[in-house]
Structure 1
């Protein structure tokens, strides 16, 4: 089945909105990533200083805690990498929407 330019533009309208909303979360991801990196640094400093795990810590060891934070950092970075791709996609979508002839 062949799609017309007009049909493609209609289909992309929802995709553009969804992509824009995803990109808007970039600031939150950046803040979360900075917080996670600060937490990782704090964990490493606590461990180097020989401090015990905090009483309310859900992890059994510094190693478990560090692994969990490193996983969160990786996840956050993956989200930011995805947003960079979405920015490029949005540029392409908008270019198509503005320049593709419908006839």
Structure 2
């Protein structure tokens, strides 16, 4: 069975809602990224100052601690990059919804 424009629009409505919900998380990812960068800076400063690892720290070394924070930074940045793509996809989907020809009802 071939898909009609109306069928495509129905399917795309769900995709639009899902994409909009994903984009709503952008601010949270930005905050997380800023927090992680601040944490990395703090850890680097502790290391530079020759401070010992804090008591109860789950990492065996400053290097291990920094590696974990850098992984978290990369995850947040990847999420923000994905959201930029989703914004473009959302624009295209909305354009299709507004401009795709509909077949007249008979």
- Report the TM range for the smaller structure's normalisation: over 0.9
Question: What is the count of residue pairs matched by the alignment?
Answer: 103
Which residue is 1:61 aligned to?
61
- RMSD of aligned Cα (Å): 0.7
| Off by >4 Å, runs of 4+ in structure 1 | none
**TM-score, normalization by structure 2:** 0.95
Which residue is 2:96 aligned to?
96
Residues 50-94 of structure 1 deviation map (CA, whole Å, 9 limit, x = unaligned): 001111211111000000000000010000000000000000000
Which residue is 2:18 aligned to?
18
What secondary structure does 1:101 align onto? Answer: coil
Residues 26-46 of structure 1 deviation map (CA, whole Å, 9 limit, x = unaligned): 000000000000000001000
Which residue is 2:82 aligned to?
82
Question: How many angstroms apart in 2 are the aligned matches of 1:59 and 1:17?
Answer: 40
Question: How many angstroms apart in 1 are the aligned matches of 2:60 and 2:53?
Answer: 8
**TM-score, normalization by structure 1:** 0.98
Greater radius of gyration (CA): 2
